[in-house]
Amino acid sequence: MTTALTTLVASDLDRTLIYSAAALGLTMPDAEAPRLLCVETYQHKPLSYMTETAAALLTELPRHAVFVPATTRTREQYQRIRLPGPPARYAICANGGHLLVDGVSDPDWRRTVAARLADECASLDEVRTHLLAAADPAWLLKERVAEDLFAYLVVERALMPDGWMKELAAWAAPRGWAVSLQGRKVYAVPQPLTKSAAVREVARRTGADQVLAAGDSLLDADLLLAADRGWRPGHGELAEAGWNAGHVEALEERGVAAGEEILRRFSSAVPPNPA
């Protein structure tokens, strides 16, 4: 008898599987644009989309693999999303700070994360103070804290001076923090707070034999490196940086078409169930 292999599929969401209107990248003639499914509303307005083909692929995927959304979003932001298919048993929020099991944050995982951050990183208050002191009100729009775990700024990106992010990264690294620029948001995240650590815990609990992953930002690099196979779209921080790894395929597709192609790759890479 052939034993079925368990595949875990961990994917970033924003600009990897789901896309805002501004990120769709619909460069084709209007009459040739794909049909879109809205998967998130915010303040009574549609916010995020995927193609209907991508939705069909995602609906089918959990029949053959353990699908785990892995996002930097807070739990509240994640719970606005209505992905097609059955609800994910496991989901990773706050860049690994929360491991949701059937929609509820796992308390043991939360304690593990809190202990690591206390031991290895400067405090959130110290980092927030520096962020606000270093940012110029001319281009700083908002400052936010996510789940009491990390901080981010909403900025007018075109007005940010060259080299500011590099200076911020040089300040943050010795204090155990990493920084990332995604769209209009500057993230400051503790280095031990990673999607890959939470994915390894889900893999342990599910007995996964292989892990597939996808993501577009520098905060997804650890997730991709920890996977057996991975994909990144032709847009995003990783693409802009020319980031590569031997087992990670850089796709040519950009925008919502990349999300559809990533789901095709996931589906093709999941081993068929034995007869």
Convert the pLDDT of each residue in 217-273 to its tens digit: 989 999 999 999 999 999 999 999 999 999 999 999 999 999 999 999 999 999 876
Mean pLDDT of the chain: 95
In CATH terms, the fold of domain 122-190 is Gyrase A; domain 2 (3.30.1360)
Listed in sequence order, the residues at least 6 apart from 54 whose beta carbon sits closer than 8 Å to its beta carbon are: 17, 256, 259, 260, 263
Calpha distance 90→71 (Å, rounded): 12
Give the pLDDT of residue 274: 53
Fold of 7-114+193-269: Rossmann fold (3.40.50)
* pLDDT value for 1: 44
Residues 46-55: b if buried by 16+ CB within 10 A, e if exposed: ebbbbbebbb
State the pTM of this model: 0.92
CATH 3.30.1360 in the chain: give the residue spans: 122-190
Interatomic CA distance for residues 108 and 114, integer angstroms: 10
Q: What is the dihedral of CA 232, 233, 237, 238, to 10 degrees?
A: 30
pLDDT in tens, 11-26: 999 999 999 999 999 9
**Residues 178, 79: Cα–Cα separation, whole Å:** 26
Residue 36 has pLDDT above 60, yes or no: yes
Contact assessment for residue 96 and residue 78, using Cβ atoms and an 8 Å cutoff: no
At 157-177, the pLDDT tens digits run 999 999 999 999 999 999 999
Please say if the pLDDT value at position 275 is more than 50.
no
Cα–Cα distance between 275 and 269 in angstroms, integer? 18
Location of each CATH 3.40.50.1000 domain in the chain: 7-114+193-269
